[in-house]
Structure 1
């Protein structure tokens, strides 16, 4: 199983755009084959920082996720509205997730 921790740092102008896109991203990702968990967060201290935690069955499911329309929408926002940076760390889960 693959676990992904990501942080997205957006410009102040992009915050509302990301917030509007999040419901489709969350719902779409959770319905993808191979997705076990998807959680989106916004920093309490800095609203321009978003965090994501995701679990996918395997690398193929994670790669397929990147091509989904709901992911493309977030990537388009990033490209057009000045995302400051994105940090992504992919982990191999070494113990089963609890249900």
Structure 2
């Protein structure tokens, strides 16, 4: 999973945020997405949200690891732990 800051979508500590009218909202509190007719978002933690859709183990590479330059180590640990999908935090291009 990736964030898309150029579209106003951010992932921080595995939680999805989105911009509406210039304001950043957690996705489950976003004025449109929380009650979207096709894809409503009731949970901002993407690990929990995706757990309702798949049995895959989901890990995450979070901002501190990205800032420290240890993302590869964290990703390797996720793979070693059996994670089958990995979320990457993203707040900038």
TM over 0.5: no
Higher strand share: 1
Structure with more contact order per residue of length (Cα contacts < 8 Å, sep ≥ 6): 1
Whichever structure has more helix as a proportion of its residues is: 1
Instruction: Compute the TM-score of the two structures, normalised by the length of structure 1.
Output: 0.26
